Structure 1
Amino acid sequence: MGLFSGVGRFLFGKNPAEAANPYLEQIPGMAREQYNPYIQQGQQAYENMNPVLQQMTSDPTGYMNEMQSQYKPSTGYDFMR
């Protein structure tokens, strides 16, 4: 506890953050049901992206070459050339 928090408590009484903590601690349990679909989607996205990320980190040059091998200019670009 710092000097200013002690002075603030002396002048203004109880710390509002301490009064709010019991209510704030209830939020994770109450909100888990509503957030669970989003948590599951994030975990599924991680599972889908993990092999790609591992390939990118283990062989970045090979990954870039594979991406660039599939590149095809648009017909509009070819027309302008």
Structure 2
Amino acid sequence: MIQMVCGLSEKELKILYKISYKGRWCDKHISIEDLLSGNPKHLIGEYREAIENLIRNKWLRPYKSQGRNDVCIEK
């Protein structure tokens, strides 16, 4: 895993970029499955782990919506 100067991995930065590009600041949210789509299938586990790391480090806020797990970036 490549660690950037900011302390985030390349996959974590890609996830944050995708969320901010789609404008999913809290109160808007995006499903984790939507975040995982468009990535290589053999790397889905690494991207899922990156999302969990971002939630654990409070970059993302988990959000329950209609029985699925969504996330958003705090304003």
TM-score (norm 2): 0.25
TM-score (norm 1): 0.24
Q: Using CA pairs below 8 Å that are at least 6 residues apart, which structure has the higher relative contact order?
A: 2
Structure with the higher fraction of residues in helix conformation:
1
Which structure has the larger Rg over C-alpha atoms? 1
